[in-house]
Amino acid sequence: MKKLTIISILSIATIFACKTTSGGKNEIVVMLQPKSDTQVSGSATFTEKGGVVTFEANIQGLTPGEHAIHIHEKADCSAADASSAGGHWNPTFKKHGKWGQGEYHKGDIGNFTADEKGNGTITFSTDEWCIGCGDETKDITGKGLIVHKGADDFTTQPTGNAGGRVACAGIIK
């Protein structure tokens, strides 16, 4: 009987650690703030369902071409250049790289392309993130989302040589 009670308590604790909506999914929507004297704006949604987090972002005001987007250590966008968000989120202490190929930070989302009007979108899904689960190696809450001026080269350590930070949002419930 003790084992059943402990399992029940752990199950209840797990359910409340990751708040879910009535549809069985957990969601955070963030608004990107312009940084580094740009006009970049947009929104991003993180949705967790069935142990997979899907990230979708719509960004405006960019220069046409490729841009990097990463999760950074802190949900602090207070600095004019977003340096207050810290470096890339890297809870497993890996080298910077391309997601799914060799070593990479958990925050190394990758690149997306802005069209001739400066609009870009990106969608990304992974089971290596969670929303509010408390696992320091997976939990994206309390982190920062950064859009960079240029593309990630997936090689330069530790940032990918993606250039300045043109937009920032805190990933906060």
Known catalytic residues are 70, 72, 88, 96, 105, 108, 148, 165
E strands present in the chain: 26-34, 41-49, 52-60, 65-72, 108-114, 120-126, 143-148, 165-171
Which amino acid is present at 94?
K
- Ramachandran sector of residue 120 (left: φ over 0; alpha: ψ -120 to 50; beta: rest): beta
Contact predicate 62/113, CB 8 Å = no
CA torsion sign for 139, 71, 85, 57 is negative
Task: Write out the DSSP string of 97-124.
Answer: --TTSSS--TTEEEEEEE-TTS-EEEEE
